[in-house]
Structure 1
Amino acid sequence: MSSLPRALAAEAVGTAGLLAAVVGSGIMAQRLTDDVGLQLLANAVASVAALAVLIAVIAPVSGAHFNPAVSLAQAIRRDLPWSRFPGYAVAQVLGGTVGVAVANLMYDLAPLHLSGKVRTGAGQWIGEIVATAGLVLVVGHVSRGGRGHLAPTLVAAWIFAAYWFTSSTSFANPAVTIARMFSDTFAGIAPASVLPFVLAQVTGVAIGLGGIRLLVSETQESS
């Protein structure tokens, strides 16, 4: 495992790159078309493509979590030392916020400005639980047993699918949720909507960990 400063830098850079892709592609999509379906497709494709590349490049350094929910699940499973979890979470949130600022600046917007896009309701919170639980289950599957090479493909595939079948469009990430409140654009989320999303994501972590215990056998994990 890499030194902590190097791992934290990798998490910050990776999360920044992810948020630059998520927010930047959303802005570009809005400027290119008024079709909301095409906007979502462009946003999803660009976001998951960037995610797959970033995981492949950064995983050897830090595990490429880019997500406090994933880091929490990995710490509970003892695949990440608990002493590293707080630093990972802070690096991810700060990196994500920098990535949003970069995306805003690329499109001549104020670097950080609060979103007015309300995302609320039981349906969207359930969507976040489902998206996060599925992500934790996928990460649990690939993180042991020599399946790490599958992570870029499987994680990106899950997020792409969840973009389209969940009512929340699959934030599935507290750092992404917090950072996206600083852009009043296609990918934004109003500050008042952030806490319920994060609570739903934490609930998703618990359910995902239960899914790992049920579906990922110890024999598979240690093979």
Structure 2
Amino acid sequence: MTALVRRAAAEGIGTAFLVAAVVGSGIMASRLSPGDVGLQLLQNSIATGAVLVALILALRPVSAAFNPVVTLVEWALRALPGRDAAVLVAVQVVGGCVGAVVANLMFDLPAVSVAATARTGSGTWLAEVVATLGLVLVVFGSLRSSRPETVAFAVGGYIAAAYWFTSSTSFANPAVTVARTLSDTFAGIAPASVPMFLLAQLVGGALALGLVRLLLPTPTEVIA
């Protein structure tokens, strides 16, 4: 089995589990705490942060980006060949969609239900820029620290916190964003809201790339 096949499998599986956790915990939260949106968000954020820690710890020996923006930054830093980056991004998106479908089915919902929750507005778009920028800095800053093994805890903690300090609840991930259109539940996002989310995430990633080059000028360690 080639290294790229192994990496693609890890990225697909990891992104699928990540989205299943985001969507599934949102459904569970809305059922256990109906009418209390704050408590639902708390439950959703804790589950998402925790699963990120677990997945990164388990899959980092192979590949553990689970995020097209992170993969594209790796490519821009010449830590990943262009062909490999394209394959991994595609697999992340497919894996995320599979995770959303599985989450729906686990809760006896239709396999696919197009989300109707509109998430729009300049504040929300700015929040996605900030959330993505911060995530990329946390990822690559942790990896260039003296203890790169802490990246899992740094990323999980950051995302759990960013659910609360960003008005968008920190999607910060194009694959997760696309996948969440397939579930008309607590974590869903209407397809019409997706293009601006993706643009904001790419802008955040580009800004983070500049800061990584400024603050971390040595060759960046890949996360696989």
TM (normalized to structure 2)? 0.94
Instruction: Provide closer, same or farther for how the CA distance between residues 144 and 82 of structure 1 changes in structure 2, counting only shifts above 3 A.
Output: farther
Give deviations 1:140-177, integer Å, cap 9, x for gaps: 11234553201101111111111100010000000000
Give deviations 1:47-70, integer Å, cap 9, x for gaps: 1100110000011112x0000000
Segments of 5+ residues of structure 1 without an aligned counterpart are none
CA distance in structure 2 between the partners assigned to 1:158 and 1:144 by the alignment: 17
Counterpart in 2 of 1:116? 116
CA distance in structure 1 between the partners assigned to 2:29 and 2:38 by the alignment: 10
Instruction: Report the count of equivalent residues.
Output: 219
Q: Bigger relative contact order, structure 1 or 2, given CA contacts below 8 A and separation 6+?
A: 2
CA distance in structure 2 between the partners assigned to 1:159 and 1:134 by the alignment: 9
Amino acid aligned to 2:49: V
Segments of 5+ residues of structure 2 without an aligned counterpart are none
Aligned-residue offset at 1:214: 2.8
Amino acid aligned to 2:29: A
Please say if 1:187 is aligned against 2:187.
yes
CA distance in structure 2 between the partners assigned to 1:8 and 1:39 by the alignment: 33
Identity value in percent: 55
Bigger shift: residues 23-32 or 73-82: 73-82
Secondary structure in structure 1 of the residue aligned to 2:207: helix
- Confirm or deny: 8 A CA contact 1:131 1:172 kept in the other structure: yes
Aligned-residue offset at 1:101: 0.6
Amino acid aligned to 1:97: C
Counterpart in 2 of 1:57? 58
Secondary structure in structure 2 of the residue aligned to 1:116: coil
CA RMSD of aligned residues (A): 1.6
Please list every run of at least 4 consecutive aligned residues from structure 1 whose deviation after the TM superposition is greater than 4 angstroms: none
Amino acid aligned to 2:48: S
Aligned-residue offset at 1:192: 0.3
- Confirm or deny: 8 A CA contact 2:135 2:172 kept in the other structure: yes
TM (normalized to structure 1)? 0.94
- Confirm or deny: 8 A CA contact 2:140 2:220 kept in the other structure: no
